[in-house]
Amino acid sequence: MAGIGLFDQRGVSLTETLVALAILGLVVAVFLGGIYTSTIGNGIAATRISAESLARSELEYVRASVYDNVTGSYTLPGTPPSWDPSHSTLPSGSDYFSVTVDTEDMAGYGGGMKKITAIAYLKGNEVLRIVTYKTR
């Protein structure tokens, strides 16, 4: 009975090696796919966080402004608000972003409420829209 048994093999066949490599390749492909998806998700999240920060910053700027002066719309960078020409840029690091802010008197509230909409854009594409209200 010499030569018969599990531990008496002299080597690994080519078929077994190819199957093992195929399984390893599949595991690596799935792992790399997960890393790629995670990286894309992180990029999207970072973009949304930056856009939300810029939009909320502009909303708070408008809400803190003198009520009667807050009218019309403006876009940064570019056209500053009519009530504050010195407010014409976004913070550094927001090179590809722009923010448009629109203020609108709400009819039916006796001029006591304004609707403020801030829209953040990345390279001209809308990323985020936030609406809030300001009262006297």
Contact 81, 55 (CB under 8 A): no
The C-alpha torsion from 72 through 75 and 76 to 78, rounded to 10°, is: -110
pLDDT digits over 14-45, tens only? 888 999 999 999 999 999 999 999 999 999 99
Alpha helices in the chain (DSSP H): 14-64
* φ, ψ for residue 85, nearest 5 deg: -60, -20
The arrangement of strands across the sheet holding 73-76 comes to: 73-76, 97-105, 113-122, 125-135
| Fold (topology level) of 13-135 | Pantoate--beta-alanine Ligase; Chain: A,domain 2 (3.30.1300)
Which pLDDT band holds residue 113 (cuts at 50, 70, 90)?
confident
Which pLDDT band holds residue 91 (cuts at 50, 70, 90)?
confident
Residues forming a β-bridge with 98: 121
- Using the predicted structure, report yes or no on whether residue 5 has a pLDDT greater than 80: no
The domain segmentation of the chain, as residue ranges, is: 13-135
Q: Measure the CA–CA gap between 102 and 5, rounded to whole angstroms.
A: 82
Model pTM score: 0.73
pLDDT digits over 32-81, tens only? 999 999 999 999 999 999 999 999 999 988 888 876 777 889 999 988 88
Higher pLDDT, 132 or 1: 132
